[in-house]
Chain A
């Protein structure tokens, strides 16, 4: 059973997903670290992903493409900003051409993923944001304050009722 919460913040253009898997942390990490496992879930069934380069190390490159039902390929590339196996991964996710070169006309997003284990279950927190890596870092740094703001907003809502 996977528990999932999704928090969308339109102001910050951020999507935060928390999922809980009934599996040990190492196995969840493998879903990212093993390209053959990664391609079983990254693309939707109608457009499966194929990963070519897969270097999960700081400064490393991961390239992939998704194949549409018509056979058209959509290329993407990750640049690994930070990685701490088996716990966290921060990549810049961009559009690319067939050679893995970033398409400068298309946006680059940030994706930050971290895992925590609790009693044989694994919690995955993933933040996806359309921003620069510096902005992403600010977001992460602000994490605590942000939680507080949400709590206050919830209180406000209660007071209004």
Chain B
């Protein structure tokens, strides 16, 4: 999941560097950043569903729904599985959990930054 182009292998501690933490789950986030896609995730978490059945639920074309499913699939948020003649879309709960964890890590990063900002401010002290 960690795709750091060009920079070779990223060690574990590097995960907490800056946006790297976001970078590792970028596709997850863009997958989640749409209300229709989030609704598809909710539906397919309860019941795996074919794209045509999903398409009936939204006021948009089959092709548009198919596109949303493709974005989710690329992000690893859903997987497709064949059942008989049908192809069903299923939510990958682990991927959703990973996005949540990434946000938690971003929170830790910023808590650390705020603590350091306070330190710098108090070290400056009162010059008078």
What residues make up the interface of A, taking CB atoms closer than 8 Å to B? 2, 4, 6, 8, 10-13, 15, 17, 19, 21-23, 27-28, 31, 37, 40-44, 46-47, 49, 66, 68-70, 72, 74, 76, 93-95, 97, 103, 105-107, 109, 124, 126, 128, 130-131, 135
Contact = CB atoms under 8 A, between A and B. Distances in A.
A17 to B, nearest CB: 5
B26 A19 contact: no
A3 to B, nearest CB: 10
> Interface residues of B toward A: which range?
35 or more
Given A106-B5, A130-B33, A21 B118 contact: yes
A103 B107 CA distance: 24
Given A10-B99, A13-B32, A74-B20, 13 more contacts: A4-B111, A6-B107, A6-B110, A10-B32, A23-B121, A37-B120, A41-B117, A44-B16, A76-B18, A106-B4, A106-B5, A107-B29, A126-B110
Given A2-B114, A41-B120, A42-B113, A66 B17 contact: yes
B1 to A, nearest CB: 13
B11 A70 contact: yes
A128 B11 CA distance: 24
Contacts of B104: 8
A122 B128 CA distance: 20
Interface string B96-128: 000110011011011111111111111010000
A17 B99 CA distance: 18
Nearest to A97: B6
A128 B26 contact: no
B11 A68 contact: yes
Given A13-B103, A74-B14, A76-B19, A44 B112 contact: yes
Contact of B7 (A46, A74, A93): A74
Contacts of B20: 74
Interface of B: 3-7, 11, 13-14, 16-20, 22-23, 26, 29-30, 32-33, 38, 99-100, 103-104, 106-107, 109-122, 124
A93 B19 CA distance: 8
B13 A46 contact: yes
A141 to B, nearest CB: 17
A70 B13 CA distance: 11
The 4 closest A-B pairs by CB, nearest first: A41-B116, A107-B26, A105-B5, A13-B29
Contacts of A6: 107, 110-111
- Which of A46, A126, A130, A131 has the largest number of chain B CB atoms within 10 A? A130
A128 B113 CA distance: 13
